[in-house]
Amino acid sequence: MTYLIQGETGDWEVVIGLEVHAQAATAAKLFSGAATEFGSEPNSQVSFVDAAFPGMLPVLNGKCIEQAVRTGLGLNAEINLDSVFERKNYFYPDLPAGYQISQYQQPVVGEGKVTLDLADGRTKEVGIERLHLEQDAGKSLHDQDPRRTFVDLNRSGVPLMEIVSKPDIRGPEEAGAYLRKLRAIMRYLGTCDGNMEQGSLRCDVNVSVRQAGENTLRTRTEIKNVNSVRFVMQAIEQEAERQVGVYESGGEVVQETRLYDAGKGETRSMRAKEYAHDYRYFPDPDLLPLRLTPEYVEQIRATLPELPDQRKQRYMESYGLKPEDASVLVAEKEAAEYFEKVAEGRDGKTACNWVMTNLFSVLNKQGRSVTDSPISADKLGKLLDLMADGTISGRIAKDVFEIMADTGGDPAAIVEEKGLTQITDTSAIEAAVDTVIADNPGQAEEYKAGNQKVIGWFVGQIMKATQGKANPQQVNQMLRAKLSG
Ligand code: MN
């Protein structure tokens, strides 16, 4: 199921590499003690270091290193015990120092891999090239005044982990799956909150195309700063189609940086792509090389939580879930925890069904997340118990669930109050069965003549007559006995 673009000259494959800038979850910046909190007054979280006052020296925040190493371990990556901070030189008004402190030749994290969970249950491995630490720049505000631009330095010096994938991604679906997985891993690890709207996860997308069967890479373009999974997927689709169009009309794709305009649904050229040598990288003389000990790395490894892949495996083994269901549940830590509470001591597949079908659709409708679900895991569990012990039928359970979604009420109390207890009293069911058979002699004859399917119709009629409260198994048995008698 490879993603291919059908052109006039044949099928084209899309080759994608992603560079993700993930803000490391820390209270203070990478080289200063200023706060990193989102949404504060402009320029209220700026130290002299962040404003690049002359003579100010950067002091490395150890928490950022810990978060980078933890993320590296979560990406099954090699941790480099020796790494170096370098200056990446360029001019921009929101970069007062004239350079960004980053890592270039020796990043703190080397090669790793991430497993994608695709919609059809398949998995695919994507290589990680590296993860390095760097500072964020400030922000130029162009929309506050018609004639002036303002600079907000709150983000200046905020710690970023730049995670670079190998060009292993083939199409928008895989790119979406990669981003969602990366975000899930970092949320499990507590190393990045993954909030794309607040800019704590931003993505640069490298795209090239080649004819199916080619095995060298063609020229790529880079789409900068795309800020949602959906936009990343759309940008890839648009850009790949544009490139195919260029080649098929006899042109050449030029290496450049492009912007995705979500309003117009197209990418457009921003500037000619710069090369690494344009930045004049060199080791920052204000910072010593970073040396980690193997013990330090092992200490962090020892505190890693269960990660999405392991949890998915556990759900498949201990609850018998299908891989595609297990991946959906583990994608969000909170949803996974909710599911486990519901499944505890109950049938895992039933719990999975109710969480994924009924609960998720209610949350969707109400625009809520699982952490402020109107139905607690405890109450959903109790509802499943009422079904399992035969107090209510599956059909009634759905009604009770709807009431719970509106009121947050307790299932047993709702069943009691509305008189929804399943009728298991044989004589009451028998009366309903007799009435329906007597009222429908035609259908009864059909059954006797060998049309087994009519039994389903009869069950439906009896469930209707009992407002769904009859026990369907009992109805079924009784009907068969009476109709064949
Ligand atoms: Mn970067």
Query: Cα of 202 to ligand 1 centre, how many Å?
Result: 10
Query: Cα of 145 to ligand 1 centre, how many Å?
Result: 29
Domain ranges of the chain: 4-300, 308-418, 426-484
Query: Cα of 9 to ligand 1 centre, how many Å?
Result: 37
Query: Cα of 162 to ligand 1 centre, how many Å?
Result: 6
- pLDDT tens-digit series, residues 118-166: 988 899 999 999 999 999 999 999 999 999 999 999 999 999 999 999 9
Query: Cα of 348 to ligand 1 centre, how many Å?
Result: 43
Residue 126, token pair as written in the block = 């994507």
Residue 461, token pair as written in the block = 């009629």
Please tell me the distance from the alpha carbon of residue 87 to that of residue 321, in angstroms, as a whole number.
49
Residue of 426, 398, 424, 430 whose CA lies nearest to 411: 398
Query: Cα of 140 to ligand 1 centre, how many Å?
Result: 17
Domain 426-484 class? mainly alpha
Phi-psi region at 104: left, alpha or beta (left = phi > 0; alpha = psi -120 to 50): alpha
Query: Cα of 107 to ligand 1 centre, how many Å?
Result: 12
pLDDT at position 52 is: 96
Query: Cα of 19 to ligand 1 centre, how many Å?
Result: 8
- pLDDT tens-digit series, residues 307-316: 999 999 999 9
pLDDT at position 1 is: 64
Secondary structure class of 206 (helix, strand, coil): strand
Query: Cα of 134 to ligand 1 centre, how many Å?
Result: 7
Q: Are 318 and 339 in contact (CB under 8 A)?
A: no
CA dihedral 8, 11, 17, 18 (to 10 degrees): 70
> E strand or H helix at 339, and its extent?
helix 333-343
- pLDDT tens-digit series, residues 345-365: 999 999 999 999 999 999 999
Query: Cα of 265 to ligand 1 centre, how many Å?
Result: 25
Query: Cα of 456 to ligand 1 centre, how many Å?
Result: 63
CA dihedral 124, 129, 130, 136 (to 10 degrees): -90
